[in-house]
Amino acid sequence: MDFSNRDCWIFDMDGTLTIEAHDFAAICRELGIPDNKNILEGIAEMPDDEAAQCRKKLEQIELDIAQHSKAQPGAIELLSKLRSQNKRLAILTRNAKPVADRTLAACGLDVFFESNVILSRDCCTPKPSPDGIHHLLKKWNSKPDRAVMVGDYVFDLLSGRNAGTATVHLDVNGVFAWPEHADFCVTHLDELTKAIG
């Protein structure tokens, strides 16, 4: 894929720029969410009081994980290269904002992102909604055909598809379960660094 005209780069955080450390099944059990539900969607179906308690508990679990976060191999090199090419960089995560901030700081990746382009579930409808991408493109006065969404999960790819951007799927296991939603697939971020030239 030719990335030369893509100057807006939007990244998922957990499992993409960081090494995946979440045991989602265990988190669901702790929060009382059925196995067949995604966490945020499961909480959204709860009564208001129960949902509020679960959100608090979830954020504490996420904060505990965040402080031990490690950068995905190749993340610093990729972000450094994009920064050297004057690309715009942003984060779009389903985490809460304090969790995103703590995660990026723990990994040493916070230096690449201004606070106002770290978008969380607190400020826009979570992925797979394209809302966060639309918000960033409007802020940057840019268009979808200038943007790339990079992620490790189908929600990341769908948010890019729904917004009309290019999509890059990072799968360190090389399975690539959603090829219909990805324009470019990599098993290591170094492959993407090479591809951007």
Q: What is the mean pLDDT of residues 143-172?
A: 98
What is the set of domains in the chain, with CATH numbers?
A: 8-19+70-195 (3.40.50.1000), 24-66 (1.10.260)
Q: Which residue has the tokens 């493109």?
A: 137
Check whether 110 has a pLDDT greater than 90: yes
Q: What is the mean pLDDT of residues 68-92?
A: 97
Neighbours of 36 (CB within 10 A): 7
pTM across the whole model: 0.86
Q: What is the pLDDT of residue 42?
A: 84
The chain-wide mean pLDDT, for the chain, equals 93
Question: Helix-strand-coil percent breakdown of the chain, rounded to 5?
Answer: 45, 15, 40
Check whether 104 has a pLDDT greater than 90: yes
φ/ψ (deg, to 5) at 120: -120, 180
Q: What is the pLDDT of residues 11-40, one digit of tens each?
A: 999 999 999 876 777 877 888 888 777 877
CA distances from 109 to 18, 63, 114, 138, 158 (A): 9, 16, 11, 24, 25
Q: What is the pLDDT of residue 122?
A: 87
Least confident range from 43-52, 120-129, 131-140, 158-167: namely 43-52
Question: Rounded distance, CA 39 to CA 62, Å?
Answer: 12
Check whether 116 has a pLDDT greater than 90: yes
**How much of the chain, in percent, has pLDDT values that exceed 90?**
72
